Structure 1
Amino acid sequence: MHAFNLQPKPLSLAERLADMAVDALIDEADLSPKPALVDRRGNGAHTDLHLGLMHASALSLWPAFKEMAQAASEFGEVGLPLREAIGLIGREGEQAMLATTHGVNTHRGAIWALGLLVTAAALEPESTAPGAIALRAARLALLDDRYAPHPLSHGAQVAQRYGARGAREEAQLGFPAVIQRALPQLKHSRAAGHGEQNARLDALLAIMSSLADTCVLYRAGETGLQTMQLGAQAVLEAGGSASLAGRRRLHRLDEQLIALNASPGGAADLLAACLFLDRIESGDSIIQGVF
Structure 2
Amino acid sequence: MSTEEKTMIILGENIAPGQSKTLNFSFAKLFTSTKVEIPVIVERSLIPGPTVLLTAGIHGDEINGVEIVRQVIAKKINKPKIGTTISIPILNIFGFLNQDRVFPDGRDLNRVFPGTKTGSLASRVAYYFTKEILPHADYCLDFHTGGAQRFNAAQIRIAPKNKQLLSLATVFNAPFTVYSSNTSKSYRNTCEQLKIPCLLFEGGKSLESNKHIVKEGVDGVMRVLNHLEMLQTTLSKPTEKKPPVIIDKSTWIRAQKSGLLHIKIDCNKLVKKGEFLATITDPYGTMRFKVLAPNEGYIINVNQASIVNQGDAIFHISKHIV
TM-score by length of 2: 0.28
Q: Could you say which structure has the higher helix fraction?
A: 1
Q: Which has the larger radius of gyration?
A: 2
With a CA cutoff of 8 Å and minimum separation of 6, indicate the structure with the bigger relative contact order: 1
Q: Could you say which structure has the higher strand fraction?
A: 2
